Amino acid sequence: MRARYIVPAFAAAAVLLLTGCVDNSTPAATTPSGETSTIEADAAAVALLPEDIKSAGVLVIGTDAAYPPNEFKDESGAPIGWGIELSNGIAAKLGLTTKYQIASFDNIIPSITGGTVDIGESSFTDNLEREKQVDFVNYYNAGILWAAPTGSTVDPDNACGLTVAVQDNTVEDTDELPAKNAACAAAGLEKIEVLTYGSQDEATNAVVLGKADALSADSPVTLYAISKAEGKLEAAGESFDVAPYGITVDKGSELTAAVQAALQSMVDDGSYGKILEAWGVTDGGIDTITINAASNG
């Protein structure tokens, strides 16, 4: 999704990203680290693979490629981003190729539980409610960070009466802003008007165009949006509510341990760190890959 904060590019992005489910198979588009092509299979991780996936030789990955820089699309429609690079690395460690199912965010977990997708990589925040449906292989810690027009005085802790843009079905949409609106109501203040969009590009564009006072998104996403906004946006406050991202896997699947082993191998050999560094998101990196951190942390 490139530098999409110029108006015509945003319009094109909206058309591209709302076209539904698309398959993209390896090889994936070129991405900044160039690390994936050098990653070799890890025998210990391969040994943990369920036999059906090992024999198929393909890891089917669900993603909503609308959340730069984590996962988004290049000009050809292929998925890119640091989350996509990590997924490609997981597949390489497991001796598999990748096949991407690009779909709306809220359809990914049902696709996993329904058996049409092996794993989900879409900046999923690991929480107790989601853990009822899937397991999480935790790979990153992200906070919530707001952005507002440069020179404004937006305060996320005093946002009653403002208009805030978010991507729909993110934690900001389902948890953060409803909680803030409950606090506004309890204080007898005007509620926050929440504008929800199908992609983060659209949410960011709403602020750039003056339709919203601020946006709320995961910290790496907000920082990327600011970097691409040509000086029109700045951070509003500091990151808060830090929580783990997780690769989603069907509940109780043997694949969970294989993905964990693959990611830990990437951490240990340095390929994980090189990918984060190339995309400028090292702050949330972790040393130990865990499972279901929301309930076990």
Residue-range domains of the chain with CATH: 7-142+244-296 (3.40.190.10), 143-242 (3.40.190.10)
Tell me the Ramachandran region of residue 95: left when phi exceeds 0, alpha when psi lies from -120 to 50, beta otherwise: left
pLDDT exceeds 60 at position 251 = yes
Cα 286 to Cα 69, 85, 244, 258, distances in angstroms: 18, 16, 10, 18
CA distance 66 to 197: 11
Region of poorest pLDDT, from 6-10, 149-153, 189-193, 244-248: 6-10
Which pLDDT belongs to residue 45? 98
Residue type, 88: N
Report the distance separating Cα 81 and Cα 132, nearest Å. 28
pLDDT of 261-287, one tens digit each?
999 999 999 999 999 999 989 889 999
Please provide the average confidence, as pLDDT, over all residues in the chain. 88
* 40 half-sphere exposure, CB direction, 13 A CA radius: 2
Joined tokens for residue 68? 């730069």
Which helix (H) or strand (E) is 154 found in, with range? Answer: none
pLDDT at 10: 31
Residues in the chain: 297
The secondary element (H helix, E strand) that includes residue 289 is none
pLDDT higher than threshold 50 for residue 25: no
- 133 pLDDT tier (thresholds 50, 70, 90): very high
Tokens of 19: 């076209």
Q: What is the mean pLDDT of residues 43-52?
A: 98
Structure tokens that stand for 42 in this block: 């890890």
User: Per-residue pLDDT for 15 more than 70?
Assistant: no
